[in-house]
Structure 1
């Protein structure tokens, strides 16, 4: 199991997140009392879905040796309704079969599968 550590200090909501190899930050927008110095936690979640989707598609295309020059992804999301819409553009893929297959693969990205599943999150306070 990997470990991620996070902390929040005296700034309103700016959070430092330390993965095993990187440091990233989260914050809330000004209208929610933050300073908008970094993406919100929900934006980071959606960004995880975006990056995982693109990496999964690129790995699959590479394995199949498909001539895809670029993969673009647009995500629209609404926190209140809990809806996320992905639109994927494959540049250089001429086959409709490839597009259909890539849609299936996009839905197999690990973050997509995790978000659609029932999560088991255990929390303790020490």
Structure 2
């Protein structure tokens, strides 16, 4: 049984790269940015990956703080994808927690960020098995 499922369809009459996506029970649109020849009518593929990372990070921190009974507050997470001079790619993630926490708590939250499910998924890499079939 899959842990998650997503499907994408690009209709023959769709404007260039506008993709209809279903992620679980949610309907989304994906597209490429204007600089890639798309119409920017939805997030580009790497933006979806980063969205999963930031959503997982924020939710995991909230769960951890609730479990520990720590003061609650606004959690903000941003992630940027970068290209290093050597051609490798890396993600820079910035996390802010607007809560009355001491430095020990904040250090622990930084450790938790490195252990979120999507963080581990990205860091370890995941095998992709592809099957081509006729419609």
Correspondence list, 1:79-94, <5 A: 81-94=88-101
SS in structure 1 of the partner of residue 129 of structure 2: coil
Quote the Cα distance in structure 2 between the aligned partners of 1:5 and 1:88. Answer: 30
Does 2:120 align with 1:116? no
> What is the number of equivalent residue pairs in this alignment?
126
What's the CA shift string for 1:16-37, capped at 9, x where partnerless?
1112311111100112111110
Cα RMSD over matched residues? 1.4
Quote the Cα distance in structure 1 between the aligned partners of 2:50 and 2:5. Answer: 21
Quote the Cα distance in structure 1 between the aligned partners of 2:6 and 2:44. Answer: 17
SS in structure 1 of the partner of residue 43 of structure 2: coil
TM-score with structure 1 length normalisation?
0.92
Contact 2:50/2:80 (8 A) holds in 1: no
Question: Structure 2 stretches of 5 or more lacking a match?
Answer: none
Quote the Cα distance in structure 1 between the aligned partners of 2:60 and 2:67. Answer: 11
Question: Structure 1 stretches of 5 or more lacking a match?
Answer: none
What's the CA shift string for 1:66-125, capped at 9, x where partnerless?
113111122222256411111111111331110111011111111100000131100011
SS in structure 1 of the partner of residue 25 of structure 2: coil
Quote the Cα distance in structure 2 between the aligned partners of 1:114 and 1:20. Answer: 19
Correspondence list, 1:1-126, <5 A: 1=2, 2-9=4-11, 10=13, 11-78=15-82, 81-126=88-133
Contact 1:6/1:18 (8 A) holds in 2: yes
Compute the displacement of 1:61 (Å): 0.4
Quote the Cα distance in structure 1 between the aligned partners of 2:69 and 2:132. Answer: 49
TM-score with structure 2 length normalisation?
0.86
